[in-house]
Amino acid sequence: MSLSNLKGLRLSDSDLDFLVHTVSPEVRDRSRLKQIIREDRDFRNRYIGDEKVFTRLMDDDELFLKISPTLFFEILLRKAASDLEEVSYTVEKTSTMRIPVFDTKDVVELLTKEPVLGYLADMLASFTRVESYVISFRVKKGVWKKIRFNNLDIVSLMSLCQAVQDEYRLGLYKRIADICLFILGVFPDYAERDYRYPFSGELRPQIRGKLRISPADYEKEGRKFYRLAAEHQSARELDLSEVFWALHGNFQKAKKPLNFIAERYLHYRRHKLFA
């Protein structure tokens, strides 16, 4: 749950080789071109947004193994922003219907904020791996307790927030909020199916020891924990408060490009890409 990679979208040498080979295979001075991509942010973004890059991404199922996950999802987010500009509405789904919402202008505007787009790309990349942890902490003198959890377990992460000191909570706040946004954005069908039966629409019975979370609860908790993250002193020190506030205030809009990517670009690949 490191926060160290959130200060910018860094491109590896493999990322740069992929971009140059895809967009400008004829160029002779590749080292100079890669230097320009690194140093000129606008040029970099236009390069990544080139249609040839997206086409190659869609045509090569193994490409995910050759470039960084963050670049993979940045390409998809930039393509989603471009495609959403061409449609008049997004679709919100309930258990029984699909509702058109004329909010594409606001969704695209959110993605034009580079820190937000970068954050979303890094967030999606983080869900391609699930890491497990064991943390020991002192309950009282001579008594220690162990908590085992993985970073996709929202219930354990919420419990852990209560067990650790405030200075260590930012990463937990962030991850809990990210899980909520990720599930509603990439696997909204899971959130609905896990809460109610798909055909009858009736609520599933409460199972002892398991928290039943509705799609509305995921949004409520996601907004809440992005707010907690935004208010945390460490977020201000890391210059992340504005991103967290943007996601808190625009949670519904932030999930729309993820819905768009999941439905339009990933299809069956969702389950292959995410652990």
Cα 261–95–125 angle (5° rounding)?
25
Which pLDDT score, from 0 to 100, does residue 211 have?
67
CA 57 to chain centre: 19
Which pLDDT score, from 0 to 100, does residue 1 have?
47
Measured CA to CA, the distance from residue 123 to residue 73 in angstroms comes to 9
Which pLDDT score, from 0 to 100, does residue 223 have?
98
Which pLDDT score, from 0 to 100, does residue 6 have?
54
β-bridge pairing 90-93 and 143-150: unpaired
Q: Where are the strands (E) in 41-182, listed by range?
A: 90-93, 98-101, 132-140, 143-150
Average pLDDT, consecutive stretches of 10 residues, N- to C-terminus, the chain (275 residues): 57 95 95 95 96 96 91 97 92 74 93 96 92 68 72 85 88 96 92 70 66 87 98 95 98 96 91 84
Backbone angles phi, psi at 65, to 5 degrees: -85, -10
Which pLDDT score, from 0 to 100, does residue 226 have?
98
Which pLDDT score, from 0 to 100, does residue 221 have?
96
Domain spans, the chain: 132-273
Cα 185–188–191 angle (5° rounding)?
125
Query: In terms of Cα–Cα distance, which of 40, 46, 39, 48 is closest to 15?
Result: 48
Tokens of 59: 């045509």
Which pLDDT score, from 0 to 100, does residue 200 have?
65
